């Protein structure tokens, strides 16, 4: 999962991200979603979110990729629409 976790997430216009120490809040035209997280660090610079892990322990590596994927899905839901619409538009 660490290869997935290393990919940055671009944030499109119309989606706002609020990063707190224990959760991330994604707000867009379709509503608001919140995701709790632990053992990873989430940073936002300009319009790009990066997720980094605190250690190389197996469980932390798994959470690194998991939380990156969950944040990416929440961002897409708010920016584009339902997950099926995301798949159709993104190939």
Tens-digit pLDDT profile for residues 3-36: 888 899 999 888 899 999 999 999 888 888 889 9
Q: Can you give the pTM of this predicted structure?
A: 0.80
Residue 1 has pLDDT above 50, yes or no: no
Q: Can you spell out the DSSP letters for the chain?
A: -HHHHHS-EE--TT-EEEE-SSEEEEEETTEEEEEE--SEEEEEETTEEEEEES---HHHHHHHHHHHHHHHHHHHHHHT-SHHHHHHHH-
Cα 39 to Cα 9: distance, rounded to the nearest angstrom: 19
């Amino acid at each position: 999962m660490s290869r997935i976790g290393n990919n940055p997430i671009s944030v499109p216009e119309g989606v706002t991200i609020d990063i707190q120490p224990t959760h991330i809040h994604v707000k867009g035209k379709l509503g608001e979603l919140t995701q709790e997280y632990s053992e990873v660090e989430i940073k936002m610079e300009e319009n790009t979110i990066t997720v980094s892990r605190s250690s190389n322990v197996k469980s932390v590596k798994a959470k690194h990729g998991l939380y990156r994927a969950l944040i990416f899905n929440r961002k897409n839901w708010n920016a584009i629409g339902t997950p099926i619409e995301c798949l159709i538009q993104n190939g």
